[in-house]
Amino acid sequence: MGFGMAGAVWGPQVDELQNDHRCCHYDHLGVGESDRGPFLRTIPAMADDAVRILDDLSWDRAHVVGVSMGGMIAQELALRSADRCESLTLVATHDGAPVATLPTLRGMRLFLQGLFGGPKSRMRSLPRLLYPEEFLESIGPEAIASHLDVRLGHPPALRTVLGQLYAVMRHSTESRLSQIELPTLLVRPGKDILIRPTQTDRLAERIPNAQVLRFDDAGHGVTFQKAAELNAALRDHFAQHGSDQPRATPPVAARV
């Protein structure tokens, strides 16, 4: 999952895809039900966490999906452990290039309000950071409040948030992306104010044979806003790029 978020936020995907896939989502160290872990983290270390989870599950390979910070982790996982990946999906993420990865001014303001403000400030800023205003108006306050309870009901400690922020700021894969040979789907929310849509374009230029799925009216919270369409695309992507080897069980979808 992304920055500061518990694995349960993958609910819109897992609830659907578990009908025909084995699905794994998890809490990063310091989030949800995971142990606190060290203060400062790196994205490669978090990719190692994902490999250990695959090992613990005795899963040799998986379709790997990551959103935002999770997409950075997924990039490292694909670069460091490509043999464990059936396919790769990167949602609303970037390659760590300096300056270009900065949010819009509005996105930065809302992000800082959510990061350093109190609970009320987070509840006000997070919806506006993740979703376009027209979507918030269409879904209504009750549905948004229920959704945010999953995201904000048990926020991580400040040390965890700062440790993850350190990891994100040090993330850099730009010079190595051409090494990714996995079938890759890039999800581009066109109204994302936290990670600019042009960052997906940069990934598409650098990852060989990557395909781009555009949601021009979606914000950073595309996994919720466009859940049905995204789930259908994930299912197609997995089916097209699953292993040719016989399986005793359905293919795996693992999320980071």
Q: How far is 171 from 150, CA to CA, in rounded Å?
A: 27
The single residue listed with the structure tokens 């950071």 is 129
pLDDT tens-digit series, residues 48-83: 999 999 999 999 999 999 999 999 999 999 999 999
Identify the weakest region by mean pLDDT among 80-94, 110-124, 143-157: 143-157
pTM for the model stands at 0.93
Q: What residues contact 251, with CB distance under 8 A and at least 6 apart?
A: 21, 22, 63, 86, 238, 242, 243
Q: What is the pLDDT of residues 3-30, one digit of tens each?
A: 999 999 999 999 999 999 999 999 999 9
According to DSSP, residue 100 is labeled T
Residue 67's pLDDT is what?
A: 98
The pLDDT value recorded for residue 245 is 40
Q: What is the pLDDT of residues 163-201, one digit of tens each?
A: 999 999 999 999 999 999 999 999 999 999 999 999 999
**The 85-91 sheet, strands edge to edge:** 22-24, 252-255, 62-67, 85-91, 184-189, 211-215
**Residue showing tokens 């229920």:** 146
